[in-house]
Amino acid sequence: MFNKKKENKMVWLVIEKYGKTTHAFTVAKKAYSLQDAVAFKSALDKLNDRDNQSYFIATEIESGFNEVVKLHNKSVEDGSYYESHPEIKRPDVK
């Protein structure tokens, strides 16, 4: 039966990209929150042992961009961004 709750939610797709010279794409997971999509993508990244396979998250551009910017800014503010990306130096640490 049709679920109106899901109709009103933003959909996030975890896309699998594979191939070395020509790329192919498949939808690996459909999520209704960015947090769920990020968790699923993170798990796939950790399990991935192939050089020619990667994952990314996609959604409707404007809505998704606003949500990603908000979450990124929050992670920079609380420091979790730098914990996840040790190759990037914190600007406040010398």
pLDDT tens per residue across span 10-39: 788 898 988 877 788 889 999 988 899 999
Q: How confident is the model over 33-55, as pLDDT tens digits?
A: 889 999 999 999 999 998 888 99
- As a whole number of angstroms, the distance between CA 24 and CA 18 comes to 5
Write the DSSP symbol of residue 16.
Answer: E
DSSP string, 26-53: EEEEEESSHHHHHHHHHHHHHH---TTE
- At 64, the pLDDT band (50, 70, 90 cuts) reads low
C-alpha gyration radius of the chain? 16
What is the percentage of the chain residues whose pLDDT exceeds 70?
Answer: 84
